[in-house]
Structure 1
Amino acid sequence: MKIEAHLLLQELAIQVKSHIEQATLLEKQTEKSLNARITPDSWSVLECIEHLNRYGDFYLPEIEKRINSSHSKPELQFKSGLLGNYFAESMLPKAKLNKMKTFKNMNPIHSKLDKSVLQTFISQQKKLLLLLENAGKVSLNKTKTSISISTLIKLKLGDTFRFLIFHNERHIQQAQRVIKNVWF
């Protein structure tokens, strides 16, 4: 995938702003509805969002550290890497969702959660917007970040942003399906 770097950052920022809006709407729900599940083994809305917070806890400091330590200059175009594009594209929600197993430390099932999970998510998304803005000053191709499953594997900064934001989209849609399918 090739795209003008500034367009990629703009498109991703639009998505992040949408995620903030959606989380803000979720704050209007009762804690009972936010903790309800469709089946005993499925995630509640708050568990979906807590899962995203756990990834944010890793990726936001990692991205910030790499942007701050990068001496690269921004290029006009971002060209996705093979592995980075695969990871990012695999996160995109599809009509028939491909289920994925999550790592144990990222699985919030049966956690005791309250609405502060949503406030944490919104705060993380605001930080992500700032990082997207700061990323315009470095190379999205040459600046590399570690990934949560292995610090040995590095992705281009542009792919890391795509992966993280597409992953957020996937689970926000999941949370919205939970709200629609839970009856009280």
Structure 2
Amino acid sequence: MNHTAFLIALQTATQQLRATAQAEFEPLDLALLNHQPAPGSWSILECLEHLNRYSRYYNPQLSKALTQASSIADQPVGYSWLGRKSVNMMRPDNRKKHTTLKHMNPSGSRLGREVLNEFLAHQTALLDLLARAHAADLNRKAVPVEFFRLLKLRLGEALEFVVVHQQRHLQQALRVKAGLQVSLAC
């Protein structure tokens, strides 16, 4: 996919993530947002807090990479083996469960509405980063992987990883909400 189409697709997905979170989760009361569907399962706010923890790392890394990135003409976005594997592993349609790193796991937390507000703010920041990325070389290895910083993703891979990871966990949060509606109906 070429540079421009790639970024437009990520911007559209990010706008949809933000709109979905606002529409689906803002109306819920705090008890429902913190409800865990089963022991060890994440609540809606735990799903969002997990994403916030990743955004706290990746958004500054992406901003730094964009500041240092050279300009490039519209060209196809390329993938390294690590980048392709990372993105495919996080795609929402990949139903395989993955173990979350301890420091990224919010399990058992009692969280407030500030988690949702922070998530929405991170989406706004990501949209700004995606707008800046239109003038950057997306094929430059520039973003250290959170769990092993010696490895680097290309800028385009990192942007896509962040978006698909958010889509994956927002779908998880929506499944938690759907379960709430079923249990409330009974």
TM range (shorter): over 0.9
In 1, the alpha carbon distance for the partners of 2:14 and 2:77 equals: 19
Q: 1:91 is matched with which residue?
A: 90
Match of 2:38 in 1: 39
Instruction: Report the Cα offset of residue 72 of structure 1.
Output: 4.2
Residue 14 of structure 1 is matched in structure 2 by: 12
Whichever residue aligns with residue 12 of structure 1, its letter is L
Query: Any residues of structure 2 matched to 1:127-166 within 5 Å, and which?
Result: 127-166=125-164
**What's the TM-score, normalizing by structure 1?**
0.95
- How far does residue 73 in structure 1 lie from its aligned partner after superposition? 2.4
Query: Contact conserved, 2:4 with 2:74, CA < 8 A, in 1?
Result: no
Aligned mates of 2:105, 2:113 — CA distance in 1: 18
2:141–2:152 CA contact under 8 A, matched in 1:
no
Q: CA deviation at 1:71?
A: 2.8
Corresponding residue SS for 1:154: strand
Secondary structure of the 1:136 match is helix
Aligned residues: 181
Structure-2 residue corresponding to 1:55: 54
The equivalent residue for 2:76 is 77
1:91 maps to a residue whose letter is: M
When the two chains are superposed, the root-mean-square deviation of aligned CA atoms in Å is 1.2
- Following superposition, the deviation at residue 94 of structure 1 comes to 2.2
Q: Give the aligned partner of residue 27 of structure 1.
A: 26
TM-score normalised over the length of structure 2: 0.94
Structure 2 residues not aligned, in runs of 5+ = none
How far apart are the structure 2 equivalents of 1:167 and 1:91? Answer: 5
Of 99, 102, 118 in structure 2, the residue corresponding to residue 101 of structure 1 is 99
Q: Which runs of 4+ in 1 moved over 6 A?
A: none
Q: 2:123 aligns with which of 114, 122, 125?
A: 125
> Is there any run of 5+ residues in structure 1 with no aligned partner, and where?
none
Q: Distance in 2 between matches of 1:180 and 1:138?
A: 40
